[in-house]
Chain A
């Protein structure tokens, strides 16, 4: 629940620390890069569709990475795609978050063994904040992943830098 909700329910006097306010704003308005990769993307679409409604959490897809805050890697990342994903991620303005959705982007999933063209985990090119397991994860699971991410953001501090340039843990 958002910070302000708590204040309402607990009837406190609103002494919102700016940090809390900012974190609250960030976590309740996570705009997502409108972008899907594979089967998981279909579940991601289902999550934004009527039954699960991503919009309830303030998540709306923005077509351009320049205006988005979170990128959901929803599906198998191949080598051909990994480079593009990295670039897309780079092109998002800070602060930015990554949700890795599904086995494939977690570690290559069903393709980890023989997948000669599958990147074994998107965390080899970009830093991942939350790993959502499942193949595909149920929409609820994705929502839960999002809640986890919100939890993480809530505990973030403005003072300490969130993340600077990331070098893939490849070499």
Chain B
């Protein structure tokens, strides 16, 4: 991206970081829009916002090849967008429009963009870790040197599928990364009160003989760099890695949860470490002043405003869509 700064030409390093900032700014505003649209009654069902966790998705994606695979959870808007889904398609999906990412059949919890390697968002906690393991297995079978990444929450580390996936991935030495977004809470319950170890993912890695690290999930550069190392190892046949990114969600768990169960000072401390703020500070240290950042913010505002308008204007799905995509051949029914 060619961006001019107060100081003239950008270094590559700054340009890349500014790009990451731009991506995060877009995601942040998409999440805010999703929340507003939910409160306005234009998004139905439920939605789990990732505002505050953008650095994990954007930093990790920066470490991936376009043909790598990503699997996310119901809190997956940021991953979908970091892997190429447009805010418009995401919001349209949330608003039950035919232009939605999944044609309004998936919804907020199932954002998917298969053509750019975002192989879905899954709403049963832990279920996608074995799937990511399988995608990595497939990559080795096909000899493509692709890697697969499963993003999941701290709460997911207590469900059986988590361990089954880690063990199988370790035994088969597969190119899969297990990236925990530890945002300190399962739904409303502090993760520590239901988990036997302090670092729910990282402290379990040794049970499957896997390397692990607890990292700052609100620093997009840290995420990118640690991911890059793990991805390189996986691609070279060195097997899986467990990364635990400590982060925080700005909204409640879902829908209109006001997250009253969180101590005020905890919220304050984490808000001060908002990944956008962290990145702004890093950019400022690289000599980027407010100008380009404000420009990026404005660009993000415009993108989201347009996305909201377009999503609002889009038509709802045809009723006939109810019956498609059950089977490969649309003509097939379950009986003759």
The answer to whether A binds B is no
